[in-house]
Structure 1
Amino acid sequence: MDSIIFDLDGTLWDPIESVLEAWNKTIIDHEGLKQGITRKHLAGTMGLQMKEIGKKLFPELNEEEREQLLKDLSRREIPHLSKNGGQLYDHVEKILEKLSEKYKLFIVSNCQDGYIEAFYEYHGLDRHFIDYENPGRTGLSKGENIKLIIDRNQLKDPVYIGDTEGDRKAAKDAGIPFVYASYGFGKVESYDYRIQSFDELLNIF
Protein backbone atom coordinates (compact mmCIF):
# COMPACT_ATOMS: atom_id res chain seq x y z
CA MET A 1 0.00 0.00 0.00
CA ASP A 2 1.35 3.42 -0.95
CA SER A 3 -1.51 5.80 -0.13
CA ILE A 4 -4.68 6.43 1.90
CA ILE A 5 -7.70 8.35 0.61
CA PHE A 6 -10.07 9.63 3.30
CA ASP A 7 -13.71 10.56 3.33
CA LEU A 8 -14.27 13.69 5.46
CA ASP A 9 -17.63 13.79 7.32
CA GLY A 10 -17.95 10.87 9.72
CA THR A 11 -14.34 9.85 9.11
CA LEU A 12 -12.09 12.77 10.04
CA TRP A 13 -14.61 15.02 11.79
CA ASP A 14 -18.20 15.53 12.90
CA PRO A 15 -19.30 18.91 11.47
CA ILE A 16 -23.00 18.64 12.27
CA GLU A 17 -23.37 21.11 15.15
CA SER A 18 -21.41 23.77 13.30
CA VAL A 19 -23.31 23.20 10.04
CA LEU A 20 -26.65 23.30 11.85
CA GLU A 21 -25.79 26.64 13.38
CA ALA A 22 -25.04 28.07 9.94
CA TRP A 23 -27.90 26.40 8.06
CA ASN A 24 -30.75 27.15 10.45
CA LYS A 25 -30.03 30.87 10.28
CA THR A 26 -30.77 30.66 6.56
CA ILE A 27 -33.62 28.15 6.75
CA ILE A 28 -35.75 30.12 9.21
CA ASP A 29 -35.59 33.13 6.88
CA HIS A 30 -36.97 31.12 3.94
CA GLU A 31 -40.64 31.75 3.15
CA GLY A 32 -41.35 28.18 2.05
CA LEU A 33 -39.99 26.47 5.17
CA LYS A 34 -41.80 26.27 8.50
CA GLN A 35 -38.97 25.19 10.79
CA GLY A 36 -35.27 24.46 10.96
CA ILE A 37 -33.57 21.08 10.87
CA THR A 38 -32.07 18.97 13.66
CA ARG A 39 -28.95 16.87 14.11
CA LYS A 40 -31.00 13.76 13.29
CA HIS A 41 -32.08 15.29 9.97
CA LEU A 42 -28.55 16.21 8.96
CA ALA A 43 -26.95 12.98 10.16
CA GLY A 44 -29.27 11.08 7.83
CA THR A 45 -27.84 12.89 4.81
CA MET A 46 -24.14 12.29 5.48
CA GLY A 47 -22.38 10.94 2.40
CA LEU A 48 -24.90 12.38 -0.07
CA GLN A 49 -24.19 15.07 -2.64
CA MET A 50 -25.81 18.47 -2.12
CA LYS A 51 -28.67 17.95 -4.60
CA GLU A 52 -29.59 14.69 -2.92
CA ILE A 53 -29.46 16.39 0.49
CA GLY A 54 -31.79 19.10 -0.78
CA LYS A 55 -34.37 16.59 -2.02
CA LYS A 56 -34.28 14.66 1.24
CA LEU A 57 -34.44 17.61 3.64
CA PHE A 58 -36.63 20.03 1.69
CA PRO A 59 -39.15 17.98 -0.34
CA GLU A 60 -41.76 20.74 0.00
CA LEU A 61 -39.72 23.06 -2.24
CA ASN A 62 -39.67 22.86 -6.02
CA GLU A 63 -36.38 22.22 -7.81
CA GLU A 64 -35.65 25.88 -8.47
CA GLU A 65 -36.35 26.87 -4.86
CA ARG A 66 -34.17 24.02 -3.55
CA GLU A 67 -31.30 24.96 -5.82
CA GLN A 68 -31.39 28.56 -4.61
CA LEU A 69 -31.65 27.48 -0.97
CA LEU A 70 -28.64 25.17 -1.33
CA LYS A 71 -26.61 28.03 -2.79
CA ASP A 72 -27.65 30.25 0.13
CA LEU A 73 -26.78 27.50 2.64
CA SER A 74 -23.34 27.01 1.11
CA ARG A 75 -22.64 30.74 1.11
CA ARG A 76 -23.25 30.82 4.86
CA GLU A 77 -21.80 27.40 5.70
CA ILE A 78 -18.31 27.69 4.19
CA PRO A 79 -17.29 30.92 6.00
CA HIS A 80 -18.84 29.59 9.22
CA LEU A 81 -16.80 26.37 9.06
CA SER A 82 -13.66 28.33 8.21
CA LYS A 83 -14.09 30.36 11.40
CA ASN A 84 -15.59 27.74 13.74
CA GLY A 85 -14.53 24.35 12.36
CA GLY A 86 -16.14 21.07 13.37
CA GLN A 87 -15.40 18.38 15.94
CA LEU A 88 -12.34 16.35 15.00
CA TYR A 89 -12.48 12.73 16.07
CA ASP A 90 -10.09 11.73 18.83
CA HIS A 91 -6.38 11.69 17.92
CA VAL A 92 -6.96 12.61 14.26
CA GLU A 93 -4.12 15.13 14.10
CA LYS A 94 -1.63 12.84 15.83
CA ILE A 95 -2.51 9.80 13.70
CA LEU A 96 -2.45 11.79 10.44
CA GLU A 97 1.03 13.01 11.32
CA LYS A 98 2.24 9.45 11.84
CA LEU A 99 0.55 8.11 8.72
CA SER A 100 1.90 10.92 6.53
CA GLU A 101 5.44 9.85 7.39
CA LYS A 102 4.88 6.58 5.52
CA TYR A 103 1.94 7.10 3.16
CA LYS A 104 0.60 9.70 0.76
CA LEU A 105 -2.70 11.07 2.15
CA PHE A 106 -5.70 12.44 0.24
CA ILE A 107 -9.34 13.47 0.78
CA VAL A 108 -12.31 12.69 -1.48
CA SER A 109 -15.64 13.91 -0.12
CA ASN A 110 -19.16 14.36 -1.56
CA CYS A 111 -19.15 18.04 -0.62
CA GLN A 112 -19.45 21.39 -2.31
CA ASP A 113 -16.49 23.43 -3.52
CA GLY A 114 -14.82 25.23 -0.62
CA TYR A 115 -15.85 22.73 2.08
CA ILE A 116 -12.56 20.82 2.29
CA GLU A 117 -10.71 24.13 2.15
CA ALA A 118 -12.75 25.31 5.17
CA PHE A 119 -11.77 22.13 7.02
CA TYR A 120 -8.13 22.82 6.19
CA GLU A 121 -8.32 26.48 7.13
CA TYR A 122 -9.74 26.03 10.61
CA HIS A 123 -7.95 22.86 11.69
CA GLY A 124 -4.65 23.45 9.87
CA LEU A 125 -4.38 19.87 8.65
CA ASP A 126 -3.70 20.58 4.98
CA ARG A 127 0.01 19.99 5.56
CA HIS A 128 -0.69 16.27 5.85
CA PHE A 129 -2.56 15.93 2.54
CA ILE A 130 -1.18 15.96 -0.99
CA ASP A 131 -4.42 16.42 -2.95
CA TYR A 132 -8.22 16.40 -2.60
CA GLU A 133 -11.34 16.27 -4.74
CA ASN A 134 -15.11 16.72 -4.56
CA PRO A 135 -18.15 16.88 -6.88
CA GLY A 136 -18.46 20.63 -6.26
CA ARG A 137 -15.37 21.05 -8.43
CA THR A 138 -15.72 18.14 -10.85
CA GLY A 139 -19.41 17.24 -11.04
CA LEU A 140 -18.36 13.59 -10.77
CA SER A 141 -19.46 10.78 -8.47
CA LYS A 142 -17.32 9.85 -5.46
CA GLY A 143 -16.01 6.74 -7.21
CA GLU A 144 -15.01 8.81 -10.23
CA ASN A 145 -13.32 11.39 -8.00
CA ILE A 146 -11.36 8.63 -6.26
CA LYS A 147 -10.20 7.43 -9.68
CA LEU A 148 -9.26 11.01 -10.56
CA ILE A 149 -7.06 11.26 -7.46
CA ILE A 150 -5.48 7.88 -8.25
CA ASP A 151 -4.71 8.82 -11.84
CA ARG A 152 -3.61 12.38 -11.10
CA ASN A 153 -1.16 11.27 -8.44
CA GLN A 154 -0.13 8.01 -10.11
CA LEU A 155 -1.07 5.92 -7.07
CA LYS A 156 -0.28 2.23 -7.27
CA ASP A 157 -1.89 0.68 -4.20
CA PRO A 158 -4.36 3.01 -2.39
CA VAL A 159 -7.18 2.30 0.06
CA TYR A 160 -10.28 4.36 0.83
CA ILE A 161 -11.55 5.05 4.36
CA GLY A 162 -15.17 6.07 4.90
CA ASP A 163 -18.23 5.53 7.06
CA THR A 164 -21.21 4.97 4.72
CA GLU A 165 -22.50 2.43 2.24
CA GLY A 166 -21.94 5.06 -0.45
CA ASP A 167 -18.28 5.14 0.53
CA ARG A 168 -18.05 1.37 0.19
CA LYS A 169 -19.64 1.49 -3.26
CA ALA A 170 -17.31 4.31 -4.31
CA ALA A 171 -14.25 2.31 -3.26
CA LYS A 172 -15.60 -0.70 -5.15
CA ASP A 173 -16.22 1.44 -8.24
CA ALA A 174 -12.64 2.65 -8.04
CA GLY A 175 -11.37 -0.91 -7.59
CA ILE A 176 -9.62 -0.34 -4.26
CA PRO A 177 -9.97 -1.78 -0.72
CA PHE A 178 -12.42 -0.17 1.70
CA VAL A 179 -11.82 0.56 5.39
CA TYR A 180 -15.08 1.07 7.30
CA ALA A 181 -15.00 3.76 10.00
CA SER A 182 -17.77 2.33 12.16
CA TYR A 183 -17.70 5.28 14.58
CA GLY A 184 -19.12 7.53 11.86
CA PHE A 185 -22.65 8.14 10.59
CA GLY A 186 -23.42 5.13 8.41
CA LYS A 187 -23.99 1.38 8.64
CA VAL A 188 -21.95 -0.85 6.35
CA GLU A 189 -22.15 -4.65 6.23
CA SER A 190 -19.32 -5.43 3.82
CA TYR A 191 -15.76 -4.11 4.06
CA ASP A 192 -12.11 -5.13 3.85
CA TYR A 193 -11.15 -3.65 7.22
CA ARG A 194 -13.10 -2.09 10.06
CA ILE A 195 -12.01 0.46 12.65
CA GLN A 196 -13.99 1.52 15.74
CA SER A 197 -11.83 4.59 16.42
CA PHE A 198 -9.47 6.65 14.31
CA ASP A 199 -6.34 5.55 16.14
CA GLU A 200 -7.07 1.92 15.19
CA LEU A 201 -5.70 2.83 11.76
CA LEU A 202 -2.25 2.28 13.20
CA ASN A 203 -3.18 -1.38 13.76
CA ILE A 204 -3.88 -1.75 10.03
CA PHE A 205 -1.17 0.42 8.53
Structure 2
Amino acid sequence: MQTAIIFDMDGTLFQTNLILEPALERTFEYLRQNNLWSGATPIEKYREIMGVPLNVVWKSLCPDHSDKIREKSNQYFQAALIEEIRKGNGALYDNVLPTLQSLSESYPLFIASNGETAYLQAIMSAYNLERWIKGCYSIDIIPSKNKSLLVERILKEHNIVSGFVVGDRASDINAAIDNNLIPIAVNFDFAQLEELKKAQHIVEQFPQLIDIVKTYRIQVLEG
Protein backbone atom coordinates (compact mmCIF):
# COMPACT_ATOMS: atom_id res chain seq x y z
CA MET A 1 0.00 0.00 0.00
CA GLN A 2 1.50 3.33 -1.06
CA THR A 3 0.69 6.63 0.60
CA ALA A 4 1.64 9.86 -1.15
CA ILE A 5 1.38 13.62 -0.83
CA ILE A 6 0.14 15.62 -3.82
CA PHE A 7 0.76 19.36 -3.92
CA ASP A 8 -0.73 22.19 -5.86
CA MET A 9 1.90 24.57 -7.28
CA ASP A 10 0.62 28.16 -7.55
CA GLY A 11 -0.10 29.73 -4.20
CA THR A 12 0.95 26.54 -2.41
CA LEU A 13 4.61 25.90 -3.21
CA PHE A 14 5.34 28.85 -5.47
CA GLN A 15 4.71 32.53 -4.74
CA THR A 16 3.01 33.24 -8.04
CA ASN A 17 2.05 36.72 -6.88
CA LEU A 18 5.68 37.81 -7.31
CA ILE A 19 5.61 37.28 -11.07
CA LEU A 20 1.89 37.55 -11.78
CA GLU A 21 1.59 41.32 -12.01
CA PRO A 22 4.54 42.01 -14.34
CA ALA A 23 3.63 39.11 -16.65
CA LEU A 24 -0.03 40.10 -16.80
CA GLU A 25 0.87 43.76 -17.31
CA ARG A 26 3.09 42.85 -20.26
CA THR A 27 0.34 40.71 -21.75
CA PHE A 28 -2.30 43.42 -21.60
CA GLU A 29 0.15 46.02 -22.87
CA TYR A 30 0.56 43.74 -25.88
CA LEU A 31 -3.23 43.70 -26.29
CA ARG A 32 -3.42 47.48 -25.95
CA GLN A 33 -0.72 47.99 -28.57
CA ASN A 34 -2.76 45.83 -30.94
CA ASN A 35 -6.00 47.71 -30.17
CA LEU A 36 -7.44 44.65 -28.47
CA TRP A 37 -7.78 46.15 -24.99
CA SER A 38 -8.37 49.55 -23.45
CA GLY A 39 -8.11 50.54 -19.83
CA ALA A 40 -6.22 49.06 -16.90
CA THR A 41 -4.88 45.54 -16.62
CA PRO A 42 -7.41 43.36 -14.70
CA ILE A 43 -4.95 42.20 -12.06
CA GLU A 44 -7.46 42.06 -9.20
CA LYS A 45 -9.84 40.00 -11.32
CA TYR A 46 -7.06 37.50 -11.95
CA ARG A 47 -6.27 37.29 -8.25
CA GLU A 48 -9.92 36.46 -7.53
CA ILE A 49 -9.96 33.53 -9.94
CA MET A 50 -6.41 32.31 -9.40
CA GLY A 51 -6.32 28.52 -9.40
CA VAL A 52 -8.95 27.85 -12.04
CA PRO A 53 -7.95 26.30 -15.41
CA LEU A 54 -6.41 28.76 -17.84
CA ASN A 55 -9.23 28.50 -20.38
CA VAL A 56 -11.55 29.76 -17.65
CA VAL A 57 -9.07 32.49 -16.72
CA TRP A 58 -9.06 34.00 -20.20
CA LYS A 59 -12.80 33.74 -20.65
CA SER A 60 -13.13 35.69 -17.41
CA LEU A 61 -10.45 38.29 -18.20
CA CYS A 62 -11.41 38.77 -21.84
CA PRO A 63 -15.11 37.88 -22.09
CA ASP A 64 -15.63 39.84 -25.33
CA HIS A 65 -12.65 38.41 -27.21
CA SER A 66 -12.54 35.48 -29.60
CA ASP A 67 -11.05 32.14 -28.60
CA LYS A 68 -8.19 32.83 -31.00
CA ILE A 69 -7.27 36.07 -29.26
CA ARG A 70 -7.62 34.46 -25.84
CA GLU A 71 -5.27 31.68 -26.91
CA LYS A 72 -2.75 34.18 -28.23
CA SER A 73 -3.01 36.17 -25.00
CA ASN A 74 -2.39 33.06 -22.94
CA GLN A 75 0.64 32.13 -25.03
CA TYR A 76 2.10 35.60 -24.51
CA PHE A 77 1.31 35.41 -20.79
CA GLN A 78 2.93 32.00 -20.38
CA ALA A 79 6.09 33.18 -22.11
CA ALA A 80 6.19 36.24 -19.83
CA LEU A 81 5.76 34.09 -16.71
CA ILE A 82 8.57 31.75 -17.74
CA GLU A 83 10.84 34.69 -18.48
CA GLU A 84 10.15 36.12 -15.01
CA ILE A 85 11.00 32.76 -13.43
CA ARG A 86 14.24 32.47 -15.38
CA LYS A 87 15.19 35.99 -14.30
CA GLY A 88 14.86 34.84 -10.69
CA ASN A 89 11.90 37.08 -9.91
CA GLY A 90 9.79 34.32 -8.37
CA ALA A 91 10.23 32.44 -5.10
CA LEU A 92 8.99 29.43 -3.20
CA TYR A 93 7.19 30.07 0.07
CA ASP A 94 9.25 30.10 3.24
CA ASN A 95 10.62 26.71 4.25
CA VAL A 96 9.16 24.85 1.29
CA LEU A 97 12.46 23.20 0.37
CA PRO A 98 13.37 21.78 3.81
CA THR A 99 9.77 20.67 4.32
CA LEU A 100 9.69 18.83 1.00
CA GLN A 101 13.01 17.21 1.83
CA SER A 102 11.71 16.03 5.19
CA LEU A 103 8.41 14.71 3.79
CA SER A 104 10.14 12.95 0.90
CA GLU A 105 11.99 10.75 3.35
CA SER A 106 8.72 9.00 4.19
CA TYR A 107 6.40 9.62 1.22
CA PRO A 108 6.54 9.97 -2.55
CA LEU A 109 5.66 13.56 -3.47
CA PHE A 110 3.79 14.74 -6.57
CA ILE A 111 2.47 17.97 -8.04
CA ALA A 112 -0.98 18.36 -9.60
CA SER A 113 -1.40 21.82 -11.05
CA ASN A 114 -3.71 23.85 -13.27
CA GLY A 115 -0.56 25.46 -14.70
CA GLU A 116 0.74 24.58 -18.15
CA THR A 117 3.54 22.05 -18.55
CA ALA A 118 6.28 24.44 -19.72
CA TYR A 119 5.53 26.84 -16.87
CA LEU A 120 5.64 24.07 -14.27
CA GLN A 121 8.90 22.73 -15.66
CA ALA A 122 10.42 26.21 -15.44
CA ILE A 123 9.64 26.26 -11.71
CA MET A 124 10.84 22.69 -11.21
CA SER A 125 14.14 23.51 -12.90
CA ALA A 126 14.64 26.87 -11.18
CA TYR A 127 14.48 25.29 -7.72
CA ASN A 128 15.69 21.78 -8.56
CA LEU A 129 12.47 20.29 -7.23
CA GLU A 130 13.15 17.01 -9.01
CA ARG A 131 15.26 16.17 -5.97
CA TRP A 132 12.09 15.40 -4.03
CA ILE A 133 9.15 15.50 -6.46
CA LYS A 134 8.49 12.16 -8.17
CA GLY A 135 6.19 13.59 -10.82
CA CYS A 136 4.81 16.96 -11.89
CA TYR A 137 1.41 16.75 -13.58
CA SER A 138 -0.29 19.52 -15.53
CA ILE A 139 -4.02 19.87 -16.14
CA ASP A 140 -2.99 19.94 -19.83
CA ILE A 141 -3.28 16.14 -19.92
CA ILE A 142 -6.93 16.13 -18.81
CA PRO A 143 -9.32 17.16 -21.62
CA SER A 144 -12.04 18.23 -19.17
CA LYS A 145 -9.53 20.31 -17.12
CA ASN A 146 -10.94 18.67 -13.99
CA LYS A 147 -8.36 18.57 -11.18
CA SER A 148 -10.05 15.64 -9.48
CA LEU A 149 -9.38 13.58 -12.59
CA LEU A 150 -5.79 14.78 -12.67
CA VAL A 151 -5.26 13.55 -9.11
CA GLU A 152 -7.02 10.30 -9.98
CA ARG A 153 -4.54 9.81 -12.82
CA ILE A 154 -1.60 10.23 -10.46
CA LEU A 155 -3.08 7.67 -8.08
CA LYS A 156 -3.57 5.11 -10.84
CA GLU A 157 -0.17 5.58 -12.47
CA HIS A 158 1.69 5.19 -9.19
CA ASN A 159 -0.51 2.66 -7.41
CA ILE A 160 -1.34 5.13 -4.64
CA VAL A 161 -4.20 4.15 -2.35
CA SER A 162 -4.04 6.79 0.38
CA GLY A 163 -2.52 10.14 1.14
CA PHE A 164 -2.97 13.88 1.14
CA VAL A 165 -3.67 16.74 -1.24
CA VAL A 166 -2.18 20.08 -0.21
CA GLY A 167 -3.51 23.21 -1.89
CA ASP A 168 -5.01 26.64 -1.53
CA ARG A 169 -8.22 26.58 -3.55
CA ALA A 170 -11.50 24.69 -3.73
CA SER A 171 -10.33 22.58 -6.68
CA ASP A 172 -7.54 21.15 -4.51
CA ILE A 173 -9.85 20.35 -1.61
CA ASN A 174 -12.43 18.77 -3.92
CA ALA A 175 -9.74 16.74 -5.68
CA ALA A 176 -8.76 15.24 -2.33
CA ILE A 177 -12.33 14.49 -1.28
CA ASP A 178 -13.29 13.02 -4.68
CA ASN A 179 -10.34 10.63 -4.47
CA ASN A 180 -10.73 9.69 -0.79
CA LEU A 181 -7.58 11.53 0.21
CA ILE A 182 -7.06 13.90 3.13
CA PRO A 183 -7.42 17.59 2.14
CA ILE A 184 -4.96 20.03 3.69
CA ALA A 185 -5.30 23.72 2.89
CA VAL A 186 -2.59 26.35 2.99
CA ASN A 187 -3.84 29.82 3.87
CA PHE A 188 -1.45 31.81 1.71
CA ASP A 189 -1.80 34.62 -0.84
CA PHE A 190 -4.66 33.42 -3.03
CA ALA A 191 -6.53 31.30 -0.49
CA GLN A 192 -10.15 32.13 0.25
CA LEU A 193 -11.29 30.78 3.60
CA GLU A 194 -14.80 30.14 2.34
CA GLU A 195 -13.36 27.67 -0.18
CA LEU A 196 -11.24 25.91 2.42
CA LYS A 197 -13.97 25.01 4.90
CA LYS A 198 -14.04 21.38 3.75
CA ALA A 199 -10.32 20.89 4.38
CA GLN A 200 -9.44 18.71 7.37
CA HIS A 201 -6.53 20.97 8.23
CA ILE A 202 -5.58 24.57 7.42
CA VAL A 203 -1.95 25.60 7.84
CA GLU A 204 -0.48 29.08 8.05
CA GLN A 205 3.19 27.99 7.82
CA PHE A 206 4.44 25.31 5.46
CA PRO A 207 6.42 23.26 8.03
CA GLN A 208 3.16 22.56 9.91
CA LEU A 209 2.58 19.88 7.30
CA ILE A 210 5.25 17.70 8.84
CA ASP A 211 3.45 17.35 12.17
CA ILE A 212 0.06 16.85 10.51
CA VAL A 213 1.29 14.08 8.24
CA LYS A 214 3.29 12.50 11.07
CA THR A 215 0.12 12.29 13.19
CA TYR A 216 -1.64 10.21 10.55
CA ARG A 217 1.38 7.96 10.18
CA ILE A 218 1.45 7.30 13.93
CA GLN A 219 -2.26 6.49 13.86
CA VAL A 220 -1.74 3.96 11.07
CA LEU A 221 1.20 2.33 12.83
CA GLU A 222 -0.67 2.12 16.12
CA GLY A 223 -3.80 0.83 14.42
TM-score by length of 1: 0.91
Which residue pairs with 1:109 in the alignment?
Answer: 113
Q: Which stretch has the larger CA shift, 35-44 or 16-25? A: 35-44
Tell me which residue corresponds to 1:172.
Answer: 177
Matched, 1:191 2:196: no
2:49 pairs with one of 35, 41, 45? 45
Q: Shift of residue 60 of structure 1? A: 3.2
Deviation at 1:176, TM superposition (A): 1.4
Relative to structure 1, is the Cα distance of residues 152 and 36 closer, same or farther in structure 2, using a 3 angstrom cutoff?
A: farther
**Is the 2:84–2:90 Cα contact (8 Å) retained in structure 1?**
no
The whole-number CA distance in structure 2 between the counterparts of 1:10 and 1:135 is 16
Q: Which amino acid aligns with 1:150?
A: L
| Match in the other structure for 2:27 | 26
- Aligned pairs (5 A) from 1:1-205: 2-30=3-31, 31-37=35-41, 39-84=43-88, 86-139=90-143, 140-187=145-192, 188-205=196-213
Farther-moved stretch of structure 1 (41-50 vs 73-82):
73-82
The structural deviation recorded for 1:103 is: 0.9
Alpha-carbon shift at residue 171 of structure 1 (Å): 1.6
Name the amino acid aligned to 1:11: T
Distance 1:3 1:70, change over 3 A: same
Q: List gaps (5 residues or longer) in structure 2.
A: 214-223
Which of the pair has more CA radius of gyration? 2
* Residue 120 (structure 1) shift: 0.9
- Give the ranges of 4+ consecutive aligned residues of structure 1 lying more than 4 Å apart after TM superposition: none
Distance 1:16 1:74 in 2: 14
Note the C-alpha offset of 1:19.
Answer: 2.8
RMSD of aligned C-alpha atoms? 1.8
- Structure 1, unpaired ranges of 5+: none
CA displacement 1:126-176 (0-9 Å, x = unmatched): 211001211223434111110111111111212101111121112222221
Tell me which moved more, 110-119 or 180-189.
180-189
Q: Which amino acid aligns with 2:79?
A: R
Tell me, in whole angstroms, the C-alpha distance in 1 between the residues paired with 2:178 and 2:44.
29
Q: Deviations over 1:81-124 (max 9, x none)?
A: 23325221111111111111111100001111212101111122
In percent, how many aligned pairs have the same letter? 24
Contact 2:23 2:80 survives alignment (8 Å): yes
**2: distance between equivalents of 1:204 and 1:122?**
28
Letter in 2 for 1:163: D
SS at match of 1:132: strand
State which drifts further: 130-139 or 101-110: 130-139
Provide the rounded CA distance (Å) in 2 between the counterparts of 1:201 and 1:162: 12
Deviation at 1:79, TM superposition (A): 3.5
